[in-house]
Structure 1
Amino acid sequence: MVLPKAEPTKSYWIEAAESPLRDYRSTEQLPHETDVVVIGSGYSGASAAYWLHKHTQHSAKQPQVTILEARGICSCATGRNGGQLRPHAYSRYDKWSDAFGPEGAMELIRHEMAHLPAFEELAKEEGIAEEICLKFGETFDAAMTDEAWTRLKTAYDNMRRDQGANSDVVRQCRVIEDAASAEEFTQMKGVMAAIVHPAGQVWPYKFVHALLRILLEAGNLNLQAHTPAQQISERDAAGWITVTTDRGSIRAKAVIHSTNAFASHLLPEFGKLIGPERCTLAALKAPASFIKHTGAQHWDGTVNNYHLQLPEPYNAIILGGGRQLLVHKADECFPSDDDDKQFEGMADFFRTWGTSDVKDWPGSAALSLPEDEGGCWSGIETFSADGWPFVGSLPNRDGQFIAAGFVGHGMPRILLSTAHITPLVLDSLGMEYKQPTLTAPYPALPRPFHVSAERVEKLQAFDLAVKMESFRASCKESAMKPFCLDERSRPKIQRVDSPVE
């Protein structure tokens, strides 16, 4: 695995935020040493640093933390995602129950659901809710076909059967089976039925930059943009780990790897375990408060769209998915880290969404920014060999920790996952700390997330070629279905006229 592309496509989240921390360096030179190096300045890196601060803010000594970022601050996955703080409240129940049993499935669901109050409490304590455009409400899964409805409703029914109608999670979900009512709630044309549950939305780039600003103001963070880490040593006899960058070396007592799809650049044992998948989003112009709820449209198990609308003065609708078109471009999606390239025809596809998919769309089909200036962009999410993140102490790497591999679903997983790492890091440093009230009421790290030597060793047998073939087969199957064969979804075929004889 190589480092992220040097010149990625421009993302609305980044361009419209106009953050002063975008290319920030706390000091002209790297510090010679620090207590903790965090590699990666996205959601997982920033939240890990934040929890280190919160656990020790009342202690006699706080750790000095240095964050290294290969590109601009928060310019990778977190600066390019969908912005939905949207737990899998029911839709993965069957899959997770088959793997871990009904209670194991609920452990995973409750961990995701807990991110809603966790975000709310953190934003309230720090006074950043308005700044980061944090909102809570209901989200929907809109079934656009019988196939999609069967899958969604079966998952909900099975959870209700196993957990009971009075389960805390079941009671937060509701079913809209009448098509007219579903269309009224979702604003989606052609919807057959929908399932609704609580969710939130956030400007992820602004959230990360707000956390980093708080840490900089506290005085225990050194932030270094455009400083790619190239090598990492083992812990030496004096307890130091040396991280070598393009701008020199820095030594630390502990290192947190928050590099998501790019983890194997420094951790070759993760070469088969974590990798990149290329996705795409766009920002569309719309009247203020036009979209009432965040949501997702589902046609089958592969094809979907998802969206939210930002509050005033932005008003942009952030739209992702576009799988009706992308299933025809499987080789460009997975595996791929090409977030420096646009998918051909993608911006035009997204421009059609309002008039083709949305009830009472006002008629505009414009992007909020020009296509190559943040109106449409590519982003890299991760795949994981077994489908789960890797969170905790790295086996056989004393003093090193990881929070990576969140398979495109990090927003309702990372905040409380990195809170789990903090005590491990502070224990390794021998520092005194106290669990902050912000983390006290929330569930423990789900068991599938834990890193272990056995898990890492077992997954070395993972065959990427098999996963690639499975991905291509599912895309090929979807590509032959009617909803992927309409005029806007079919790839444009270039006609080559015969030469004149």
Structure 2
Amino acid sequence: MVLPIANPTKSYWIEAAESPLRDFRSNEELPEETDVAIIGGGYAGASTAYWIHKYTEKVSRQPQVTLLEARDICGAATGRNGGQLRPHAYSRYPAWSERFGSLGAMELIMHEMAHLSAFRDLAEEEGITEEVCLKFGETFDAAMTDEAWTRLKGALQAMQRDHGDDNDIVKVCRVIEDPRHAEEFSQMKGALAAVVHPAGQIWPYKFVHALLRIVLQKGNLSLQAHTPVTSVSERDADGWITVTTERGTIRAREVVHTTNRWASHLLPEFSKLIMADRGTIAAIKAPPGFIKHTGAQHWDKSVNNYHLQIPPPYNTIIIGGARQLLVHRPEDCVLNDKEDEQIAGVPEFFRSWPASDLTAWPESSSTELSKEVDQGGCWTGVQSETADAFPFVGPVPNRNGHYIAAGFAGHGMPRVLLSAAHITPLVLESLGVEYDQPPLAAPFPPLPQPFRATAERIERLQNTDTAAIAESYKQSCEESANKPFCNTARSISKI
């Protein structure tokens, strides 16, 4: 059994937010009983708590919810991600259509794209748009090599062939083959061409804390930081599930597991299904408004960087990836939980990014991290990888009263909010609680079939060879590591 490391590197998102909910406990004694226990205090856990509130706010009885987090609230993957609300609008289409057919692939894309309007509507209704730095616009995938452009343009063309130019998703994706025709794209030094599509950006940590604050104000949420759960029972004859923590036990009617990489700590059947994958991100000081949209640079299928800039007074570029460097050290990423350690060479690599990769970086602007390296300027984080590349969402088979939303594989921002909305009515129906679908949830598309945590899927994946996954990852890294763009001075200085 594995719990998160106690002292992870410090993330800019967390340190700069200075949230009063960081170490919050609603009370020093845990409640003896609760209707719903949510295990995990990140994006999925907070979204589940929020949707339970929204589905029941106009009925006579609101269920009591207890949210338990092993570390500080939102201190794991959500508090360490890249801040991009960036759907896979086209880039995964060839792989998904090969597995699920053209309609199945489009179902996955539509579910992700629906998060843009879902975030906009939620933030407007709750009045938190400015607070969470939510912004919408276009994002670009910039091809830095012919190899990358063949892949990116080919993905869009495959979607166009199958669905036609009048399809709503196809229409919002466009090709730019001349950097001079797009201000943002032209900032990428050496970029050849790009695909552009709608996206958003957000301060993910502030968003989670805003949701939890909203629910706390309603009085039916007990929020408990620094409360690791050590075991969960099956449902007993009286309908209770015992949740055991380091601070005592709670009896719950329903349990929702939103622990992402750490789901197998309490659900061992997921030990080969949801695995660790460590990444790294940095925060760089920038002139106000320098980067206006989110973007990504692609060299091949494995090597990329991605970035955005948060608004004043922060004026900080958040950049992740560093893949030119990391392909030389795959063991620092795959099946790696060491988020208490920096990866050698990464802070220097990110510091060199503006001068190396941006055409218009002002010579008068020094390239500094927004905080000291170990105070939030550069950090690592453990996201998840899954055995079949999709999250697990829904009732846990053969565990009455247990639900899961985990395994979002470093791409949770355009997947989690609506996945939690799918789970919520199932939980409330099991409780026998009256509920009304809120207008916010009315237009949501159905949960994609590949997300569903079915018994057949879980059983089939028990034969997953995790060693083979690690070896395949290493081989992919080795292929990229031999290419010129991964053999510059800034990419190999710390090998």
TM-score for the superposition, normalised by structure 2: 0.99
1:199-348 matches, within 5 Å, as: 199-348=199-348
Q: Residue in 2 aligned with 1:428?
A: 430
* Residue deviations 1:72-104 (CA, integer Å, cap 9, x gap): 000000000000000000000000000000010
Q: Residue in 2 aligned with 1:169?
A: 169
Task: Give me the whole-angstrom Cα distance separating, in 2, the residues matched to 1:119 and 1:38.
Answer: 22
Q: What secondary structure is seen at the aligned counterpart in 1 of 2:46?
A: helix
Give yes or no for contact 1:391–1:401 (8 Å, CA) kept in 2.
yes
> What is the CA-CA distance between 1:184 and the residue it aligns to?
5.5
Equivalent residue letter for 2:470: M
Equivalent residue letter for 2:32: H
Equivalent residue letter for 1:143: A
Q: Residue in 1 aligned with 2:399?
A: 397
Q: Give the alignment's Cα RMSD to 1 decimal.
A: 0.9
Task: Give me the whole-angstrom Cα distance separating, in 1, the residues matched to 2:157 and 2:390.
Answer: 24
Q: What secondary structure is seen at the aligned counterpart in 2 of 1:218?
A: coil
Give yes or no for contact 1:183–1:189 (8 Å, CA) kept in 2.
no
Q: Residue in 2 aligned with 1:352?
A: 352
Q: What secondary structure is seen at the aligned counterpart in 2 of 1:59?
A: coil
Matched, 1:81 2:81: yes
Structure 2: segments with no counterpart, 5+ residues: none
1:437-448 matches, within 5 Å, as: 437-448=439-450
* Residue deviations 1:269-301 (CA, integer Å, cap 9, x gap): 000000110000000000000012110000000
Equivalent residue letter for 2:11: S
Matched, 1:15 2:15: yes
Residue from 381, 394, 414 that aligns with 1:412: 414
Q: Residue in 2 aligned with 1:133?
A: 133
Equivalent residue letter for 1:443: P
Structure 1: segments with no counterpart, 5+ residues: 494-501
> What is the CA-CA distance between 1:469 and the residue it aligns to?
0.7
> What is the CA-CA distance between 1:177 and the residue it aligns to?
1.0
> What is the CA-CA distance between 1:186 and the residue it aligns to?
4.5
Give yes or no for contact 2:184–2:293 (8 Å, CA) kept in 1.
no
Task: Give me the whole-angstrom Cα distance separating, in 2, the residues matched to 1:136 and 1:181.
Answer: 20
Give yes or no for contact 1:182–1:191 (8 Å, CA) kept in 2.
no
Give yes or no for contact 1:142–1:186 (8 Å, CA) kept in 2.
no
1:55-204 matches, within 5 Å, as: 55-181=55-181, 185-204=185-204
Q: What secondary structure is seen at the aligned counterpart in 1 of 2:213?
A: helix
Q: Residue in 2 aligned with 1:499?
A: none
Give yes or no for contact 1:182–1:192 (8 Å, CA) kept in 2.
no
Q: What secondary structure is seen at the aligned counterpart in 2 of 1:230?
A: strand
Give yes or no for contact 1:69–1:226 (8 Å, CA) kept in 2.
yes
Task: Give me the whole-angstrom Cα distance separating, in 2, the residues matched to 1:383 and 1:424.
Answer: 26
1:346-385 matches, within 5 Å, as: 346-363=346-363, 364-385=366-387
Matched, 1:472 2:474: yes
> What is the CA-CA distance between 1:491 and the residue it aligns to?
4.0
* Residue deviations 1:412-434 (CA, integer Å, cap 9, x gap): 00000100000110011011101
User: May I ask how many residue pairs the two structures share in their alignment?
Assistant: 493
* Residue deviations 1:320-379 (CA, integer Å, cap 9, x gap): 000000001101111111111000110000000000001111242100000000000001
Q: What secondary structure is seen at the aligned counterpart in 2 of 1:169?
A: helix
Equivalent residue letter for 1:256: V
Q: What secondary structure is seen at the aligned counterpart in 1 of 2:194?
A: strand
Q: Which moved more, 1:21-30 or 1:171-180?
A: 171-180
Give yes or no for contact 2:184–2:291 (8 Å, CA) kept in 1.
no
Give yes or no for contact 1:261–1:275 (8 Å, CA) kept in 2.
yes
* Residue deviations 1:160-201 (CA, integer Å, cap 9, x gap): 111001110011011001244357634100000000000000
- Percent identity reads 67
Equivalent residue letter for 1:67: L
Give yes or no for contact 2:296–2:306 (8 Å, CA) kept in 1.
yes
Give yes or no for contact 1:328–1:491 (8 Å, CA) kept in 2.
no
Cα distance change on mapping 1:421 and 1:353 into 2, 3 Å: same
Give yes or no for contact 1:140–1:186 (8 Å, CA) kept in 2.
no
Task: Give me the whole-angstrom Cα distance separating, in 1, the residues matched to 2:155 and 2:454.
Answer: 30
Give yes or no for contact 2:142–2:185 (8 Å, CA) kept in 1.
no
Q: What secondary structure is seen at the aligned counterpart in 2 of 1:402?
A: strand
